[in-house]
Amino acid sequence: MHKHLREECRIGSFPCHFLTPQLTPYHGVVDVFLYNPDGYLQRRYPAVHSTFGVVSIQFQLAPELKFGNWRIRAQIGRSNRKSNFPSRNSALFEVNVTQPVTILDEEPFLTGSIQANFTWGQTVTGNCTVEVFLLDPDTEAEAPNWDGKESLSIFEEYFFGVMDFSFAMEELRAKVPANSNFDGMILAVRVTVSDYWYNETRIGFSQTKVYNSSARLTFLGDQPQVFKPGMVFTTHLGVSQQNGAALHRPTSVEIRTQFSSQSSGSGFTQSRIFRVPDDGVLFLETFVPRGVSELLLEAYDLGGLARPQPTPYDDSTVSKTRMTVLRHQSVRDHVIQLTSTTRNAKVGEYLIVHVRASYFMQTLTWIVSSKGLVILSGREEVSSRSYTFSVAVTSEMAPKAHLVVFDVLPNGGDVIADKFTFPVDGISRNKFSLSVNQHKDYYKRTVELVVLGNPLAFVGFSAVDRNLYPLTPGLSSLTRSDILRTLHQAESPRYGAAVPGMTFMSADGFADWSVYFASNSHGLDTFSMFDQADLAVFSDAKVFRKALTYCDASAGESACVSGGCFRDADRCDGVWNCRDGTDEGQCNPVAKAYEEMLQFRRTRFNHLDRSFAFACCWTDGTISPEGHFIIKREKKMNESWRNCSGNSSLPHIPRVPVLLWTWSPICLVMISILGSVTNGTALLVFLKERALRSSFNIYIIHLLLLNFVCSTAQFSISAVAALHPREWVLGDRVCDFYLLVQSMPNAATRNMHGLMAANRAWAIFHPLSYREWNSERFSLQVCVGLWVYLALVELPYWVMDTAWYRPRGLTTTRTCQFTARAMPNYITATALLIFTLPVLLVPVSFVTVAISKVVRAHRRPSSHCPRRNTIAAAVGQQTPAGVPPAPFSTLYFIVRQYRPSFSVPVYLDVANVLQACHGMTDPVLLSLAVDRFWAGLKQMLPCRPGHRV
């Protein structure tokens, strides 16, 4: 919530933004309460409906306005959020003191400017007194009551509204007390202006913090951290200026790593020098041998030096930091380590996870949890020491999630686990732009603001004076860094549950930016990994847990991670009371320094009248269906430069599908169209000509009908799925239908080819019984019996997979396929019995018939050629487009069932295209087996030879 009140405007305005745990706008009612500075309820807004997660309220101020800090409280159920904002009265004239927020102790002068104006714009004429005080950072004196402190002063007898001042830093350094350092002091400038004509005196002030030029080094994340023996330990080192701003010059750091061995009682030290990247965060990797029991990392600032080898220097005069890293304890020193190559996990993308173990793994079970809820889970068949898999990132995981991977050893039932905590970027998915058009109005009386974005999205923006915007971060706008910091601070702080992060403040005071990184587990044992991920373990397996250290909590004691106790009063006092630094590990000095600097920027100067006027510029609305939102605002009488900032929200982010037009979808589209035309035409010929409805042709009609269904339904959907290889965009119902067609009609097509091959072999080897039993009624009974057989054997697998095993909600996370691992034996049996053996009857029948004809030709020579329908039918059954891939496809899926790491994606694409080609070529080849087919086809043509219209 960002807001101010101003007496001149007489209108209070404040927007409230509400987000769900999935980082989507909250839709519902909100109760808003407004309290005056005395704490009494002034306004109450019950059951206010939010618009795309935003409640914007304006109210008229009372004639007698109570000045001070007002408070807003928003309530949704049991959730409350409070925010304070000031109100003040307009003065006759004001004094504005401008000077930098921070200054280096190496600067020669402290400079600034003074402006004194009446509220209507006229300058003040009188005298001016400028005083600079040296304040300790812990001083409790309220501004500007600094009398009695060390100071320097300047008196200007003739002041005409504008004045520049300058103080020598050497003179100020000489005023510093002997027991204090100039670095860290606050230079407070107080200006007293007296006006001759109105006999009025006003005071303005401004404060500046003094910093040195060294860099501030901080190991990011909770401390102490934990390493896995025999693995690579990773951590992050944040480097910034002392005031929290990003580095403005090249900087090098030296990393000293002390390896301690508990068995031998000795160790060694490794020293490395790194150049700090431009983003200010150094990623460190250190391989830890198996015999190491503890690490001690020390970082030293070398400034702009870049020496190839460390040289001796006085490390007591440079900026430095240190961190202890403890050894992970497990059964038989078996460990699992998780790493990821995904640096910035965003919603809708995939997190690539690499698993490495010190032993031969059989299976892995993984769980993704966030905010105390289990989001995803799965099981991977590994059979190796390393494995890589992917996890779909959803909005429920934001702002951070825990990935726990564990394995149960076959001998002993011990659990080996590891935890990986990663941040999730779930905001800024709704893109929009804000521009200001000042040339639309020729008379310069109005200004036009144009917002371009997604249709029907909510957008709101405000404006603040350009000179005041750098001084009030967080008050005048809602930035990305503010949202991320609020989301990460919402959960209760627990050791090992946070992600390492760094917030950089703009040197000029503009929008800050925050970066967050993934981190490995901080658990010393297996039990602590599950506990840090908010997971409770209920299992008969052995979950290793190290010996606990019991401390007297009633006496204000807490346990150190490596053992021992410390007093809660000594937490975050800057001194390591634990050997591993547990008492200082969760203090997060970076965030603490940021909050102190943010509060300093808000209170370091006297607020002017114009800083309370920007709330009148708050505007919100909905983007039109055309994708733009345009509004005109009248300009104020006192012209000034203003910075505009906006935010937008949309309940459902419109996803722009990316179509991958490769050879596979192109072939499937062409085959689907040609297959539908050829099978449909052949089917009409057989249905129209009564003479073509023989006993064998009923099988052909049945096969053509199956091919037509597969061409129109299965292959068309397969083409759409091939355009989106990593996601399913057609919904769950279409997925159910697609798998049903893939299961039943596809299986019936395979079995129909086998039945037709067996029918031809029966007619050749036993012609007498064939003529006696084969009839149209018998053919219909065979077709009906085939469907009964498939309904009893294949259909239950589709029903069980749809009802129980296959997860729903496939729109953005998974592809549409059967859950083969749920019933491995069942799918293996059906693959062999339904999809492989019937197809193998076709080549067996062809070879048998060919050999039989050759043998008969040698025994009984004949002058006439064999009947065309017999040879054509055999050739039609033995089309190379469909028969060869069938057994190999079954073998491929059986191998993947027991070896999940085996994958040949190109083979699947080729097999699907060849299967579709088989359905397209069936009508052409099978029509050669029917004598009257071409005559019936010619009769269906509208324009045939000799026909007159």
* DSSP secondary structure of 550-588: P--GGGTEEE-TTS-EEEGGGTTSSS--STT-HHHHTS-
pLDDT of residue 655: 52
Q: Omega of the bond prior to 137 within 30 degrees of 0, cis?
A: no
**127: pLDDT strictly greater than 90:** yes
Percent of the chain with pLDDT over 70: 79
pLDDT (0 to 100) of residue 657: 55
Average pLDDT over residues 106-134: 90
Query: Is residue 948 very low, low, confident or very high in pLDDT (cuts 50, 70, 90)?
Result: very low
The C-alpha atoms of residue 641 and residue 111 are separated, in whole angstroms, by: 23
Integer Cα distance of 182 and 172 in angstroms: 9
**pLDDT score for 504:** 84
User: What is the spatial distance between Cα 363 and Cα 360, in angstroms, rounded to a whole number?
Assistant: 10
pLDDT of residue 879: 41
Of 313-322, 417-426, 735-744, highest mean pLDDT = 417-426
The first and second tokens of residue 218, run together, are 């901080």
What is the per-residue pLDDT for 3?
Answer: 44
pLDDT digits (tens, 9 = 90+) for 519-547: 988 888 999 999 988 898 888 889 988 87
pLDDT of amino acid 422:
93
Long-range Cβ contact pairs of 793-796 (< 8 A, separation 24 or more): 793/830, 793/833, 793/834, 794/743, 794/744, 794/747, 794/830, 794/834, 795/743, 795/744
Residue in 382, 361, 407 with CA at minimum distance from that of residue 544: 407
Helix axes 715-723, 905-927, angle to 10 degrees: 150
pLDDT for the residue 468: 61
Question: What does the alpha-carbon distance between residue 732 and residue 808 come to, in Å, rounded to a whole number?
Answer: 7
The most confident of the ranges 303-307, 464-468, 580-584, 848-852 is 580-584
Max CA pair span of the chain: 137
Q: For 624-629, what is the mean pLDDT?
A: 79
Q: What is the pLDDT of residue 368?
A: 94
71, 82 contact by CB (below 8 A): yes
DSSP string, 45-89: EEEEEPBTTEEEEEEEPPSSPPPEEEEEEEEETTEEEEEEEEEEP
Residue 309 has a pLDDT of: 47
pLDDT at 508 over 90: no
pLDDT band (50, 70, 90) for residue 731: confident
Give the model's pLDDT for residue 458.
Answer: 79
Query: In the structure, how many helices (H) and strands (E) does the chain have?
Result: 18, 40
> What confidence category does residue 296 fall into, taking pLDDT thresholds of 50, 70 and 90?
very high
| 213-253 pLDDT, tens digit each | 888 899 998 889 999 999 999 999 999 888 888 888 888 99
CATH superfamily of 1-88: Macroglobulin (MG2) domain (2.60.40.1930)
175 against 54, higher pLDDT:
175
- Please tell me the predicted confidence (pLDDT) of residue 613: 53
Q: How far, in Å, CA of 144 to CA of 206, rounded?
A: 9
Q: Please report the pLDDT score of residue 876 as a whole number.
A: 43
Residue 13 reports pLDDT greater than 60: yes
Specify the pLDDT at position 883: 46
Distance of CA 131 to the CA centre of its chain: 52
| Dihedral of the alpha carbons of 709, 713, 719, 724, in degrees to the nearest 10 | -150
Helix/strand/coil for 747: helix
Give the contacts of 647 (CB within 8 A, at least 6 positions apart).
17, 459, 460, 461, 478
Burial status of residue 334 (CB atoms within 10 A of its CB: 0-12, 13-18, 19 or more): middle
Residue 435 pLDDT > 70, yes or no?
yes
Question: Could you tell me the two tokens for 561?
Answer: 């991670």
Each residue of 416-438: b (16+ CB within 10 Å) or e? bbbbbbbbbbbbebbebebeeee
Higher pLDDT, 684 or 904: 684
Q: What is the mean pLDDT of residues 349-360?
A: 91
Beta strands in 242-394 (DSSP E): 252-260, 267-275, 281-287, 294-303, 320-327, 336-340, 345-346, 350-370, 373-392
Quote the pLDDT of residue 367.
Answer: 94
Higher pLDDT, 730 or 807: 730
Q: Which amino acid is at 674?
A: L
DSSP one-letter string for 808-823: S--SSS------GGGS
* Encoded tokens for 548: 């606990």
3-state class (DSSP) for residue 367: strand
Rounded to whole angstroms, how far apart are CA atoms 209 and 105? Answer: 10
Residue partners of 865: CB distance under 8 A and separation at least 6: none
Mean pLDDT score, 82-97: 77
pLDDT, tens digit (0-9, with 9 covering 90-100), for 858-916: 665 544 444 444 444 444 444 433 344 555 565 665 565 555 555 555 656 666 677 66
Confidence of residue 4 (pLDDT cuts 50, 70, 90): very low
Lowest mean pLDDT of 57-71, 406-420, 439-453, 869-883, name the range: 869-883
Using DSSP's 3-state secondary structure scheme, residue 441 falls into coil
**Alpha carbon distance 59, 10 (integer Å):** 9
Residue 726: partners with Cβ closer than 8 Å, 6 or more residues away: 350, 815
Asked if 458 and 670 count as a contact pair (C-beta separation under 8 A), the reply is no
Q: What is the mean pLDDT of the chain?
A: 79
Tokens of 99: 């000077």
Of residues 262 and 149, the one with the higher pLDDT is: 149
Q: Say whether pLDDT at 614 is over 50.
A: no
Contact criterion met (CB below 8 Å) for 53 and 25: yes
Distance CA 257, CA 300 (A): 12
Burial class (CB in 10 A: 0-12, 13-18, 19+), 294: buried
Cα–Cα distances (Å) from 930 to 758, 812, 885, in that order, read 18, 49, 27
Using omega within 30 degrees of 0 as the cis cutoff, is the peptide bond preceding 289 cis? no
User: Minimal CA–CA distance to 422: which of 486, 347, 478, 493?
Assistant: 347
Q: How does residue 442 score in pLDDT terms, banded at 50, 70 and 90? A: confident
* Mean pLDDT calculated for residue range 610-618: 55
Is residue 716 scored above 80 in pLDDT?
yes
Class of domain 93-211: mainly beta
pLDDT in tens, 177-192: 877 888 889 999 999 9
Q: Which residues pair with 645 in a beta bridge?
A: 462
Identify which of 318-327, 489-498, 645-654, 809-818 has the greatest average pLDDT.
318-327
Which pLDDT tens digit goes with each residue over 100-114? 888 988 899 999 999
The C-alpha atoms of residue 943 and residue 285 are separated, in whole angstroms, by 79
What is the spatial distance between Cα 235 and Cα 225, in angstroms, rounded to a whole number? 9
Residue 155 structure tokens:
């008196």
Mean pLDDT of 311-320: 66
What are the helix (H) ranges across 370-445?
Answer: none
Pick the CATH number of 663-807+822-850+905-940 from 1.10.10.10, 3.30.1490.20, 1.20.1070.10, 2.70.70.10: 1.20.1070.10
Helix (H) or strand (E) holding 749: helix 732-765
Distance from C-alpha of 500 to C-alpha of 590, rounded to nearest angstrom: 10
Q: Is the pLDDT of residue 168 over 90?
A: yes
Taking the CA of residue 608 as centre, how many other CA atoms within 13 Å lie in the half-sphere pointing to its CB?
Answer: 25
Q: Which of 256, 187, 271 is nearest to 217 (CA)?
A: 256
Give residues with Cβ within 8 angstroms of 108, minimum separation 6.
168, 169, 170
Burial label, 145 (beta-carbon count in 10 A; 0-12, 13-18, 19+): exposed
In the predicted model, is pLDDT for residue 279 greater than 60? yes
Give the phi and the psi of residue 429 in degrees, each rounded to 5: -85, -20
Residue 283 has pLDDT above 90, yes or no: yes
- pTM for this structure? 0.66
Contact yes or no for 760/874 (Cβ under 8 A): yes
In angstroms, rounded to a whole number, what is the distance separating the alpha carbons of residues 238 and 246?
A: 10
Q: Does a cis peptide bond (omega within 30 degrees of 0) precede residue 250?
A: no
What pairs with residue 902 in β-bridges? none
Contact of 881 with 749, CB cutoff 8 Å: no
Note the pLDDT tens digit of each residue in 636-669: 655 566 777 777 777 665 555 556 677 778 888 8
Between 726 and 570, name the one with better pLDDT. 570
Q: Which pLDDT belongs to residue 210? A: 92
Which pair of structure tokens corresponds to residue 43?
A: 């306004």
Question: Taking the CB of residue 516, how many other CB atoms lie within 10 A of it?
Answer: 23
Kindly report, residue by residue over 473-503, the tens digit of the pLDDT: 445 566 777 778 777 877 767 888 888 888 8
**pLDDT at 187 (0 to 100):** 93
The answer to whether the 1-88 and 93-211 domains have the same CATH topology is yes
Annotated domain spans of the chain: 1-88, 93-211, 663-807+822-850+905-940
Distance CA 522, CA 224 (A): 8
Percentage of the chain modeled with pLDDT above 90: 18
Instruction: State the Cα–Cα distance between residues 894 and 831, nearest whole angstrom.
Output: 8
pLDDT band for position 817 (50/70/90)?
A: confident
